[in-house]
Amino acid sequence: MEVMSVDDANTRAATSRLIERAVGEDDLATVHDAIADLDVEHIVDVLERLDRTDRAVLYRLLPKDCAIDVFERLDPSMQSELVRGLRDDQVAAIFADLEPDDRVELLDELPATVASSLMRGLPAADRELTATVLGYPQRAIGRRMSPTFVSLRPDMTVEQAMAAVHRRLDDAETVYTLPVVDDGRVLVGVVGLRAVMNADSGTLVAEVMTEPYWARATDDAEEAARRCAELRLLAMMIVDNEKRLVGILTVDDALRILEIADSEDQARMSGTEPLRSPYLATPIGSLVRSRVVWLLVLALGATLTVQVLEVFESTLDQVVTLALFVPLLIGTGGNTGNQAATTVTRALALDDISPRDIAAVVAREFRVGLSLGLLLGGVAFVLTALVYEPSIGAVIGLTLVSVCTLAATVGGAMPLVARTIRADPAVFSNPFITTFVDATGLVIYFLIAKAVLGI
Amino acid sequence: MEVMSVDDANTRAATSRLIERAVGEDDLATVHDAIADLDVEHIVDVLERLDRTDRAVLYRLLPKDCAIDVFERLDPSMQSELVRGLRDDQVAAIFADLEPDDRVELLDELPATVASSLMRGLPAADRELTATVLGYPQRAIGRRMSPTFVSLRPDMTVEQAMAAVHRRLDDAETVYTLPVVDDGRVLVGVVGLRAVMNADSGTLVAEVMTEPYWARATDDAEEAARRCAELRLLAMMIVDNEKRLVGILTVDDALRILEIADSEDQARMSGTEPLRSPYLATPIGSLVRSRVVWLLVLALGATLTVQVLEVFESTLDQVVTLALFVPLLIGTGGNTGNQAATTVTRALALDDISPRDIAAVVAREFRVGLSLGLLLGGVAFVLTALVYEPSIGAVIGLTLVSVCTLAATVGGAMPLVARTIRADPAVFSNPFITTFVDATGLVIYFLIAKAVLGI
C-alpha cells in the first residue's frame, strides 16, 4: 500500500517493468542506468518480483552502499538464497556490515558449514556480540534483540550522560532510548534522550529516569515485540533472569518480527502454511504444498458429515426436501462460529481478555448465539413455512436456533482453550470450528426433523 | 499478550480482580490504595474490563498526573463515553492536556455541541493547531498527524539546528526526526537528531539531510500509517499538495492507527462489524448487532444453494447418495477459495503484488487450484470408488478437480478486483467467495453427476 499520486505510482511501475524486462534479456547496461536513481524501497519491490536467478543478477549490479541497505530489507529466506548466489568475499563483506541481530537471523537460514565459516570471518568484537545473541533459543526475543546499546548509570550527571551518548553515536543500535543500570549491570531505569537534553547539565540521571518496560531474553519474540508495539515504545529493554540488561529491542525490529508473525497467523487462520517468500517469487509447487496438507486434513474432517448423512440416509430418502437446506444450515453455523472465534481471538491479541475469562466469554457467546439464532430462525421459519410447509419451517427454524447457539459458544471458547494449551489460537480456529459445527449441526438437524415430522 | 513471568501475571490479575470487586462494592478506599502503585498500562487493562459506570467511578479516583496518560491510551469511543461521565471543568482540563491529534480524535466522537464548547475553552494557539488538523477529511492522514514539529533549514549549521531543537524540547511531538524545509515551507529533506549530533558544529544541515519519505495530508490515514510502519520510520512527513510541510506522523501514532484498522479488517474478513470497545465492555446487544446483518446477508446468499438443489431435486431423489457429499464438496471448495483469497490479500497488504498483476495471479491460482483439485480428487476417487461404486467415485473426483480450480481462481482474483474498485479486500473476501463457490460448486456437481450417471 503506497502513498503517492497515481502518476508517481505509474512511473514507478514503469521503471519496475523496464528493469524486469532488461534483467530478463540480460541487458545489464540498461538495468545499471535504471537502478541508479531508485530508492532502496523501490529496489526491494523489484527484487521481490524477480525469480531466483534474475534476482541474483540484479543484486550484483547494485551500488555497494545501497546493496547492504537493500539486503537488510529482504526476508531472511531471500537473503540466504541470495548469499548462495554471491562470491564468498562478497558474502563476507555483507555479513560484516550487518547488525548482530540481522546477522543471527541470516545465520539461522544458512547451512551450518556456511554459517560457521562466516562467523570465523568476523572481527573478534563482532563475533562476541553475535555469539551472545546466538546463545538464546530460536523463538526467544534474545535472539532478535540488539546487544549494542548505550547504558547510563543513575549517579551520572546529565552532562556525563550526553558525553556517553556522543561516544556511541556511530555504533549503538539507538541513542533515543537510554537504559540505566547499576554496578551489577542490573536494569534500574530508562530515560529518553529528549529528557536528558531537557535537564540541566548538573542533574543526576537518577532524577530524570523512569520505570523501564522490559522483557526477559528468553521470552517469546512475538509476544515481546507485540508488547513493545502496544506500549508505543521506541525501544524495550531485554534482561536476563537476574534482570541484568543484555540487549535492547527497537520498535523497527519489533515491527519486523510482528510483520512476519502476523502473516503467519493470518495464513494459518485460513488453513495455509505461511509463505517464506513474496507471492510472485514463490514457485507454484510451494504454494500447493503450503495448502494441500490443511485441505486434506479439513476434507478428512468433512468426511464426518458424509458419515452423519449416511446414518440419516433413510430419513433423507423419505423427505428429500430436507437435503435442500443442508448447505444453508451448515453455512450459517460456520459463519456464526467464525464470527465468535475471530472476535475472541482479536480480544485475546489486544489483551482485552485472558484464558481466565473463559466462563464470562462462554456465557456471553451463548447469549449472543441464542439471540442470533432466534432472529435468523424466526425469519427462516416464516419464509420456509410460506414456500414449503409449516412443519419444514419449524424444523429449519429450530435447527438454526440450536446451531447458532452451539456455533457461537464453541467458536468463542475455542481460542481460549487453544491459548490455555499453549497452541496458536489462530491455527486452532476457523476451519476446525467449521468442520465441527458442520457435523454436529447435521445431527441436530436430522434429530429435530425426525421429531417434528415424526419419521 | 504480556511479557512477564507467570507469578507477575498472577499478582497483576489478582490486583485487577481486587479492584474490580472493590469498585463493584463502592469500596473506594480499597480501590484508591490498590491503584496507587499500578502502572498506566495495568490501569488501562482494568478500566477496559469494567462496565460504563464502574469505569467512570474508577477513572475519577486516578491521580491527576497519570489520569491523562491513561486517558490517551483508551479507545476514542471509550474516551468520549468517559467524558460524558465527568464534570465540565475536569473535561476541559483533560482536553487542554491532549496533543492536537488526540484532541481531534476525541472531538470526532463527541456530540457537536460538546465539541465546539471544548474548542472554545482552548487557548488560542492550541485552538489554531487543532483547527488545522480538523480541517482535513475524516479518513485522511492530515486528521491524525501532529502539527507540532521542529523544522530546520538547509542553510542552518548543525550548531543552529541543535539550538532550534533545544528551543522546542518541551512542546514538539518528536525531536528525533527533523524535517528540513526551504523558505516556502516546502519539504526538501529530513535528518535524524543522531546524524545532527554526529556532525561537526560547522556542518550545514543540507550536507547531512537525506531524501524524505512523505505522504499527502489528504492521503488515506491507514495507507500512510502502514507505509510508515513498513519503512520502519520513526516519523513520516506530511505535506500539502504544494509539498509544503504541514505535519508529522510519528510511528507510535501510526501504530495506533494500524491497531484499529487491523482489528476492523480482521472483523470484516469473518463477517462481523468491528467492535468500538473492548470485548468484555461491549453489551450483548452490540455484539449481536455487529454480527446479525452479515449473517442475514450471507444466509440470503446461501438461499442460492437451496434453489440450486431444488432444481436438481429429482436427481437427488433418484440417487440420494449424492446428497451425502454435498457438505464435503462445498466445504472443500470454500476452504480452497479462502486459502487463495487470504494469500493474495496478504500479498497485497505487503505490497508484493498490485492490481496490475491480476493476470499473473489468476494464472498462478488456476494452476495451484488445478493441482490441489487433482490431488484431492484423486484421493477422493479411490476412496469413494472403494466404499461406494466407481461411478460415484468418478463424480466426486471430477467435481473436486473443477471446484478447487474454480475456487482458487475466483478466490485469488477477488481481492484484486476489490482493490481495483476501491473496496476493502478484507470485506470483499472470504464469506462472499464461500457463498459463490457453494452455489456454483453444486451446479457443477449435479451436471457432472447427470453426465456420468446418465440421469
pLDDT of residue B426: 59
Closest chain A C-alpha to B36 CA, distance in angstroms: 15
* 8 A C-beta contact, residue B405 and residue B364: no
**If you average pLDDT over every residue of chain A, what do you get?**
87
C-alpha cell at A124: 573478534
Name the more confident of B330 and B8.
Answer: B330
Rg (CA), chain A: 29
Interface test with chain B among A255, A312, A446, by most B beta carbons within 10 Å = A255
Structural contact between residues B48 and B71, judged by C-beta atoms closer than 8 angstroms: no
pLDDT of residue A205: 96
Interatomic CA distance for residues B155 and B163, integer angstroms: 14
Nearest CA in chain A to B405: A288
User: Taking each helix axis from N to C terminus, what angle separates B358-387 and B390-420, rounded to the nearest 10 degrees?
Assistant: 160
Residue B103 in this model has a pLDDT that exceeds 50: yes
φ/ψ (deg, to 5) at A411: -60, -35
Half-sphere exposure at residue A389, Cβ-oriented, CA atoms within 13 angstroms: 6
Residue for grid cell 420456509: A384
Contacts 24+ apart (CB under 8 A), A218-221: A218/A136, A218/A137, A218/A140, A218/A141, A218/A142, A219/A140, A219/A141, A219/B3, A220/A139, A220/A140, A220/A141, A220/B3, A221/A139, A221/A140, A221/A141, A221/A143, A221/A144, A221/A257
| Amino acid identity for residue A27 in this structure | D
Strand partners, B90: none
pLDDT confidence band for B54 (50 / 70 / 90): confident
pLDDT > 70: percent of chain A: 96
Angle between helices B326-349 and B430-453 (to 10 degrees): 140
Cell of B173: 511531538
Q: Is the pLDDT of residue B33 over 90?
A: no
DSSP helix/strand/coil, B427: helix
Interface of B with A in 231-270 (CB under 8 A): 231-232, 234, 251-252, 255-256, 259, 262-263, 266-267, 269-270
Which among A226, A284, A324 is the nearest to B306, CB-wise? A324
Q: With bands split at pLDDT 50, 70 and 90, how would you rate the model's confidence at A75?
A: confident
Reported as a pLDDT band with limits 50, 70 and 90, residue B163 is: very high
Give the whole-angstrom CA distance, residue A415 versus residue A430: 10
The pLDDT of residue A8: 63
pLDDT of residue A73: 81
Q: Write a three-state SS string for B270-310.
A: CCCCCCCCCHHHCCHHHHHHHHHHHHHHHHHHHHHHHHHHH
List of chain A residues whose C-beta atoms are within 8 Å of the C-beta of residue B278: 347, 350, 352
pLDDT at B4 over 50: no
Angle formed by the axes of helices A52-60 and A6-24, to 10°?
100
Mean pLDDT of B202-231: 93
Q: Tell me how far apart the alpha carbons of residues A81 and A221 are, in angstroms, rounded to a whole number.
A: 24
CA distance A435 to A443: 13
Quick: pLDDT tens for B333-371: 988 998 898 888 888 877 788 888 899 999 999 999 999
Give residue A263's pLDDT: 77
Alpha-carbon distance of A440 to B4, in angstroms, equals: 40
For residue range A39-51, what is the model confidence (pLDDT) as tens digits? 888 888 888 888 8
Name residues whose C-beta falls within 8 Å of residue A13's C-beta, 6 or more positions apart in sequence. Answer: B354, B356
Q: Tell whether A385 lies on the interface with B, counting CB pairs under 8 A.
A: no
pLDDT value for B429: 64
Q: Determine, for residues A255 and B41 on separate chains, whether the beta-carbon distance falls below 8 Å.
A: no
Q: Do B335 and A271 touch (CB under 8 A)?
A: yes
pLDDT mean over A322-340: 91
Q: Estimate to the nearest angstrom the gap between the alpha carbon of A178 and the chain centroid.
A: 28
Q: How far apart are CA A254 and CA B331, in angstroms?
A: 37
> What global pTM score does this model have?
0.75
C-alpha cell at A204: 543526576
Count of other CB atoms within 10 angstroms of residue B393: 20
Q: What span, in angstroms and rounded, lies between the C-alpha atoms of A8 and B101?
A: 28
Nearest beta carbon to residue A223 from set B1, B321, B323: B1
Backbone angles phi, psi at B184, to 5 degrees: -90, 15
Residue carrying C-alpha cell 543513575: A154
Q: Does B366 touch chain A (CB under 8 A)?
A: no
Closest C-alpha among B197, B203, B75 to residue A172: B197
List all residues 6 or more positions away from B191 whose beta carbon is below 8 Å from its beta carbon: B152, B161, B178, B180, B205, B208, B209, B210
β-pairing, A235-239 vs A245-250, is antiparallel
Please give the grid coordinates belonging to residue B282.
461491549
CA atoms within 13 A on the CB side of B336: 38
Give the closest residue to B338 by CA, choosing from B414, B395, B256: B414
Instruction: Say yes or no for a CB contact (<8 Å) between B175 and A194.
Output: yes
For A71-94, letters b (16+ CB in 10 Å) and e give: bbbbbbebbbbbbeeeeeebbbeb
Cβ-nearest to B343 among A255, A279, A346: A279
Q: Residue A257 and residue A144: Cα distance in Å, rounded?
A: 8
Is B364's CB within 8 Å of A330's CB? Answer: no
List the single range of A332-336, B57-61, B252-256, B322-326 with lowest mean pLDDT: B57-61
Residue position matching grid coordinates 476457523? A430
Residue type, A254: A
Res B266 pLDDT > 90: no
Option in B13, B232, B284 nearest A368 (CB): B284
Say what the pLDDT of residue B3 is.
Answer: 42
pLDDT of residue A107 exceeding 90, the answer is no
Task: Grade residue B9 by pLDDT with cuts at 50, 70 and 90.
Answer: low
Please compute the mean of the pLDDT values over residues B382-391 and round it to a whole number.
93
Per-residue model confidence (pLDDT) at position A130: 84
pLDDT at position A9: 62
| Number of neighbours of residue A167 by Cβ within 10 angstroms | 11
Residues of A in contact with B270 (CB under 8 A): 335, 338-339, 341-343, 430
A residues 171-190 closer than 8 Å to B (CB):
175-176
Rounded Cα distance, A132 and A240, in Å? 12
What is the C-alpha to C-alpha distance for residues A211 and B380, in angstroms, rounded to an integer?
61
Does residue A62 sit in helix, strand or coil?
Answer: coil
Nearest Cβ partner for A306 among B176, B272, B328: B328
pLDDT above 50 (res B13): yes
> Rounded to an integer, what distance in angstroms lies between the CA atom of residue B268 and that of residue B274?
7
Cell numbers placing B150 = 521542529
Do A330 and A382 contact (CB within 8 A), yes or no?
A: no
pLDDT of the residue at B88:
79
Asked if pLDDT for residue B2 goes beyond 50, the answer is no
Rounded Cα distance between B265 and B287, Å, is: 17
Q: Does any CB of chain B come closer than 8 Å to the CB of residue A226?
A: yes
The Cα–Cα gap between B431 and A338 comes to 10
Write out chain A residues lying below 8 Å of B284, CB-based. 364, 367-368, 371
In this complex, the residue of A295, A344, A357 whose CB is nearest that of residue B335 is A295
Domains of chain A (ranges, CATH numbers): 6-138 (1.25.60.10), 158-269 (3.10.580.10), 283-453 (1.10.357.20)
Q: How confident is the model at residue A7 (pLDDT cuts 50, 70, 90)?
A: low
Question: Which pLDDT belongs to residue B5?
Answer: 46
Give the pLDDT confidence score for residue A1 in this predicted structure. 34
Distance between B87 CA and the closest CA of chain A, angstroms: 28
Q: Check CB contact under 8 Å for A323 and B321.
A: no
> Which H or E element spans position A192?
strand A187-192
A-B contacts at Cβ under 8 angstroms: 322
Beta bridge partners of A247: A238
Phi, then psi, of A384 in degrees rounded to 5? -65, -35
Say yes or no to pLDDT of B326 above 90: yes
Write the residue in B232, B262, B327 that is nearest to A326 by C-beta: B327
Q: Per-residue pLDDT for A428 more than 70?
A: no
Mean pLDDT calculated for residue range A413-421? 88
Which grid cell sits at B110? 463527541
- H helical segments located in A50-189: 52-60, 64-73, 76-84, 88-97, 100-109, 112-121, 124-134, 158-167
Tens digits of per-residue pLDDT, A359-398? 999 999 999 999 999 999 999 999 999 999 999 999 999 9
Q: Is A353 or A162 the better-scoring residue by pLDDT? A: A162
Q: Residue B449: name the closest of B406, B389, B409 by CA.
A: B389
Residue of A11, A173, A306 to mutate for B, most B C-beta atoms under 10 A: A306
